[in-house]
Chains A and B, each alone.
Chain A
Amino acid sequence: MGDILTAVLAVILGPIVTFALYALLNFLVGLLPTKAGNILRPYVFIGPVLLLVGSMLVWPTIQTMGFAFMSADSTTWVGTQNFQKLFADPNFVSTVLNNLEWIAVVPIVTVVIGIAIATLTDRLGPVRERIFKSIIFMPMAISFVAASSIWRLTYSWNVGGGTQVGMLNAIVQAFGGTPVAWLQQETFTVNNLLIMVVVIWANAGFAMTLLSAAIKAVPDETIEAASIDGANAFQSFFRIILPQIRVTAVSVFITVLISTMKIFDVIWGMTGGDFHTNVLGVDFFREYFVYNDTGRASAVVVILMLAIIPVMIYQIRTYRKQEELR
């Protein structure tokens, strides 16, 4: 009951206190002379957020950059030792390669599947379209922990090759194959690819929704004109529809790319990073909470940040361009 009481109090008091805070700030600025007030007034609105984001995101990130060049308990400076050790470790190199594989596969496959489903459902009647889309979208409401559980059952392997309760192995058996422990199959990184299936399964609905809206926004006249000119369905898709949804496709790609780079929960739930399925997000968690090494954990994060910075610059540039168009 204590939990509920806390939550109820927070729900009632939280907004009241927050609003009172803003009202107070607004009142204080109102007391100032007009000129000073006008300069400070915007910060009544954006100041608290800048403060929160600055103290909980910006400053801690800068500190982490520092920790990366310090010892395990952050007491002495060790230069680039953490990075040298990381890259001398073949396991870490395989972790980085896994990340690259994730980046190369997941975003593009998610976008392609999203476009395919959006295009196919767009041709159907409204009832079928809605039902199909709801089903594809549903995994978005499920936690990655639950998704991991669902798929671990699907991929599960019963020792000895007898009755299989996992669907994938049962299918393999039905076709006369030998069941295997799928999540331990390191050849051709089969286990990595199977975990990626889970993430694509979870993200496809997001991609589909945005791309579907973009496809519906394509003016019918352009498609009709193409068909009058003798274009078939494929031509009108690749020459007419695709160019018009490009901007949305790129933005979905970037969003999935970012979430793929920092992926953690699914791999943590599926393999814990074992059997060479480790990625940077999981490695950070292991270095910090299993090995208690703040230095190495921070170094892992710095490497992750370096990979993300180009995406960040791209995002800011895109925003600037959009602003100029407004």
Chain B
Amino acid sequence: MSREISALQKVKNWKVGTTLVMLAVVMIWLLPTLGLFVTAFRSQDDSIASGWWTAIFNPFHQDWTLDAFKGVFSSTWNLGPAFMSTLAISVPATILPITFAAFAAYGFTFLEFKGREVWFSMIIGLMVVPMQAAIVAVLQMFVAFDKWLMTIPGNEYGDIHLAGEYPAGWIVHSAFAMPLAVYILRNYMMTLPNALIEAARIDGASHFQIFWRLIIPMSVPALASFAIFQFLWVWNDYFVAFLFVGKHTVMTYQILSMLGQHGEGWQIVMAGCLISMLVPLTVFFSLQRYFVRGLTAGSVK
């Protein structure tokens, strides 16, 4: 009798109903992405003639091919250089804002000064300001700066300039990410034991030493979490790259151009998407834990 109950209990513990509902939900999330993976490996003729699911139902009557990948790396689409440009924007645009934000977060957390609340309220308010609000004026500022650079002897033709180059992207990405970065890092630093910092003060350590030797090593989880967040954001960005780093073509820009030509089959744009997703998906799945921990640390106590 008791054995029967335990068998029944086992089935109940499996929660078949809930699992089935979740399977159905997950399908909605997976199917469009699966379409991307399958289409990228189909021939042009196949992807024009039939839906990607026919390739799954009938895998042996398909021309599985890497043509689309050859296509995106060919001189038509140049996704290789675009990959490098994306990397060249993303890595510095991740490291720089973290460095700046960490200093500011320390100041807001551990230093007492007049106006601290006001400055920090401003940072909170700025988290909400849309990029669009600043873009026109920042672009004009960069153009004016480049004009000024041309007055420097030897640079009459503007060989050295800011607009359209990587540093412009780094600066803009850093500035726009700053409010959120400071907010996240400060929230984390607030949870560090104050007694430790006071003890270090009494031992004669300067704020600079405490920041560097104590707070930074202790803040690694929050720093990592923001780094992942910012890297994914910059890597996937189209807006800032298009507006400020126009001299270098990034992947999102190329994919949007490919998308414009989907009439010649979806395989090209899907192969492009697949390449562009490799790095973020790797970062994401290998560091998911940090990412999730960081997301939840700020909002849920």
Residue positions of A touching B, CB distance < 8 A? 3-4, 6-7, 10-11, 14-15, 18-19, 22-23, 26, 39, 41-46, 48-50, 52-53, 55-61, 63-64, 67, 117, 120-121, 123-124, 128, 132, 134-146, 148-154, 156, 163-167, 170, 201, 206, 209-210, 213-214, 217, 248, 251-252, 258, 261-262, 264-265, 268-269, 281, 284-285, 288, 294, 297-298, 300-301, 304-305, 308, 311-312, 315-316, 319-320, 323, 326
Q: Are B178 and A135 in contact (CB under 8 A)?
A: no
Q: Is the CB of B119 within 8 A of A14?
A: no
Given contact pairs A42-B107, A146-B255, A213-B300, A262 touches B51 in the complex (Cβ within 8 A): no
A145/B277 in contact, CB under 8 A: no
Known: A153-B36, A311-B128, A312-B125. 4 other contacts (CB 8 A): A14-B96, A15-B96, A124-B19, A201-B32
Q: Which residues from A are CB-within-8-Å of B190?
A: 326
Interface centre among B28, B49, B133, B270 (most CB of A within 10 A): B133
Q: Mark B32-63, 1 if CB is under 8 A from A, else 0.
A: 11011001000000011111110000000000
Residue of B nearest to A298 (CB): B136
Task: Give the distance in Å from the alpha carbon of A10 to the alpha carbon of B87 in the complex.
Answer: 12
A194 to B145 CA separation, bound complex (whole angstroms): 43
**Cβ–Cβ contact B295 & A210, under 8 A:** yes
Find out whether the CB atom of A163 lies under 8 angstroms from the CB atom of B130: no
Min C-beta distance of A203 to chain B, whole Å: 12
Q: Which of under 10, 10 to 19, 20 to 34, or 35 or more describes the interface residues of B? A: 35 or more
Chain B residues with CB under 8 Å of chain A are: 15, 18-19, 21-22, 25-26, 28-33, 35-36, 39, 47-53, 81, 84-85, 87-88, 91-92, 95-96, 99-101, 103-104, 106-108, 111, 113, 116-117, 119-138, 140-141, 166-167, 170-172, 174-176, 178-179, 182, 190, 206-208, 211, 232, 235-239, 248, 252, 255-256, 258-259, 262, 266, 269-270, 272-273, 276-277, 280-281, 283-285, 288, 292, 295-296, 299-301
Q: Identify which of B31, B137, B182 contacts A60 (C-beta below 8 A).
A: B137
Q: How far is the CA of A67 from the CA of B296 in the complex (A)?
A: 40
For the complex, give the distance between the alpha carbons of A269 and B207 in Å.
48
Q: Is the CB of A138 within 8 A of B137?
A: no
Q: Which of A136, A167, A305 contacts B26 (CB 8 A)?
A: A136
Chain A residues near B135 (CB-CB < 8 A) = 60, 288
Q: Is the CB of B134 within 8 A of A49?
A: no
Residue pair A60, B88 in contact (C-beta under 8 Å): no
Contact of B104 among A46, A262, A323 (CB under 8 A): A46
Given A56, A123, A165, which contacts B134 in the complex, CB threshold below 8 Å?
A56
Q: Which residues of B contact A252 (CB under 8 A)?
A: 299
A120 and B295 within 8 A (CB): no
Is there contact, CB below 8 Å, between B179 and A53?
A: yes
Q: Quick one: which of B125, B179, B248 has the most chain A CB within 10 A?
A: B125
Complex partner residue of A123 from B18, B117, B128, B255, CB under 8 angstroms: B18
Q: Are B22 and A124 closer than 8 Å at their CB atoms?
A: yes
The minimal Cβ–Cβ distance linking A163 to chain B, given in whole angstroms, is 6
9 contacts between A and B (CB under 8 A): A42-B116, A57-B134, A60-B136, A60-B137, A120-B25, A146-B273, A146-B276, A149-B272, A264-B132
Question: Which of A136, A150, A156 gathers most chain B CB within 10 Å?
Answer: A150
B239 touches which one: A43, A214, A264 (CB < 8 A)?
A: A264
